[in-house]
Structure 1
Amino acid sequence: MSHTAHIRSHRKPRRSATTSIAVRAGVAGGVLSMAAAGASATAFAAESTTQTLELPTLSADLGSQVAESADAMQQAAANYQLQAERDAAATKAAKQAKADLAEAKKKAEAKKKAEEARKAAAEEAASRSAERATLSASASASVSTSASTSSSTATGSAAAVIAFVKAQVGDAYVSGGTGPNSWDCSGLVQAAFSQIGVDLPRVSQDQSTAGTQVSLSNLQPGDILYWGGAGSAYHVAVYVGDGMFVGAQNPSTGVVEKPLSYDPPTGAVRVL
C-alpha cells in the first residue's frame, strides 16, 4: 500500500460544463439587470431634474397683467377713500343743517317775542299819551287859576314841568333819546321845559349852568338837579318836591321817580 493512499488530493474538483454555463448565464443576467436598473435610474433622474428646473418664464403679457392688477387695486383703494370722505362730508353737512334749523327756530321765537313786546310797548305808550294829555290839561288849568302874578306863574310852569316828567316814568332809557317813549337824562329835561316855552341846551354839561345856581337845602319844585361839576355834569334830573326827583337814570331802570337819598345830586340850578 502506498504511503499516500489515504491523503486527500489538494486539487479542486473540476466543474461540469453545465454548471459553468449556468453560472455564466446568472452572472450575465445579473449584469444585464443591473445595467437596466442603472439606465432606468439614470433616465428617471434625468427626467426628474428636467422637471424641477423648468421654471415659468415672466412673459410681457404676464408682466402687463400684474401691473394692471396693481393699478386696479390702487384705484379701488382710492375709490374707498373717496367714498369715506364723501360719507364724512355728508355726516358733517347733516349735523350743520340740524344746527342751522335749531338756530333758525330760536331766531324765529326771539323775533316773535320781540314783536309781542313791541306791541305791548306801543299799547302802553298810547295809554301814557292819554295820561299825559290829561295831566297837561290839569297843569294848564292850575296856571290859569293862580292868584299871584309873578310867583304863581313860576309855580304853574313848574307844575307843568313836573306833570310832564312824571308822565314819562316807566319809559325806556336810550342814550341820545329825546322821546316820545325813550329818553336820556338831558333829553327828558329839555323836553319837559320845552312844554312851557323854555329852550334849554341839549346836553347835561350845558344844562348844569343854564340857570341860577341854588343850594340843595333850598330846592323848589322844577329846579334842575345835576351830578358832577357845574359845566361838567354827567347827569341831570328834575326836582319834583317832597324830597323826590324824576330822571332818566340808566338802561336798567329807565325813567324813575326816586328820593334824593337814592342818588344824592351835586348841585342844582333854577330856570323858572
Structure 2
Amino acid sequence: MSHTAQITSHRKPRRSTPRVSLRAGVAGGVLSTIAVAGAAAPANAEPVTETIEMPTITAGLASDFARSAEATQQVANTLDLRAQQDAAAATAAKTAKTAKAEAERKAEAKRKAEEARKKAAEAAERASRTAERTTLSNASSDSGSSSASSSSSASDTASQATSQATGSAAAVLAFARAQVGDAYILGSTGPNAWDCSSLVQASFRQIGVDLPRVSQDQSVAGTQVSLDNLQPGDILYWGSAGSAYHTAIYIGGGEFIGAQNPSKGVIQASLDYDPPTGAVRVL
C-alpha cells in the first residue's frame, strides 16, 4: 500500500462552539420563553432547545405593589398625626399644670395676707387694751372713794336704759348686762370670760343676729350712725370703720357695756370714760 494512501481518521469531528440565545418579551402579560440552543457538529443535526417558563411582573402585581405603597404611606401619615396629637396633649397638660400651680400660689398668698391682717388687728387691739389698762391703773389711785358711788350710779342707769329699750334691743341689753363682772380674756367666747367682740357677738345672737367674730368686721356690719344720734343696741367701735380694735354695746343714757380689758373685765361705763370713734346700727 502506498505510504501516501489516505487513511480514514478515527478522530471525532470537532463540534462548533455552542450558541446560547436568550430572548425575552412580554406578550399578554406572560414572559416568553428563553431558548437555549446549541449547534451540533453535523450540519443537519437537530438543535437542542431547552425551554424555561419564568414569571413576569404582570399588570395585577403592579397594581398590588401600588396599593401596598399607598397603604404604607397612610400608616406613616397616621403615625405622624398621632405623634403631633401626643405632642399637643403634652403641651396642654404642661400649660394646665403651670396654671394650676399659679392659681394655688395666689390663693395661698391671699390666705396668708388675710391671716396677717387679722393678726395685725388683734395685735393693735391688745396694744390698745394694754395702754388703756396702764391709764386706768394710774387713774384708779385718784378716783378713790368715788368709784363706789360711780358703780352704783352706773347700775341704776343701766337698769333704766334696759327698761327703756324695747323688743330686740331689750333682749340684747339684758344679755350684755348679765355678763357685767365677767373676766376679759382675749379669744374667749364665754360663758364666764369674753373679749370685746365675742361679747357683742353673743349678745346679738340672742335675737338671731349673726355678727362677725372680730372687731374690725363688726365695725362695718350695719349702717353707720352719728354718735349724736345713738339708740340702745347700737354697736360702738374704737378705731376706723373696717379696722376697729374694740367694740361694745350702747345701752342708752350715754353709757355702754363692753368687755374692756384684762384688769377691768366686762364693765358698764360712760361714753366719757372711753369715747368711741363711731357706731353702727343693726337693729
Q: Smaller-chain TM-score range? A: 0.3 to 0.5
Structure with the higher strand share, 1 or 2: 2
Structure with the higher helix share, 1 or 2: 1
TM-score (norm. length: structure 1): 0.44
TM-score (norm. length: structure 2): 0.42
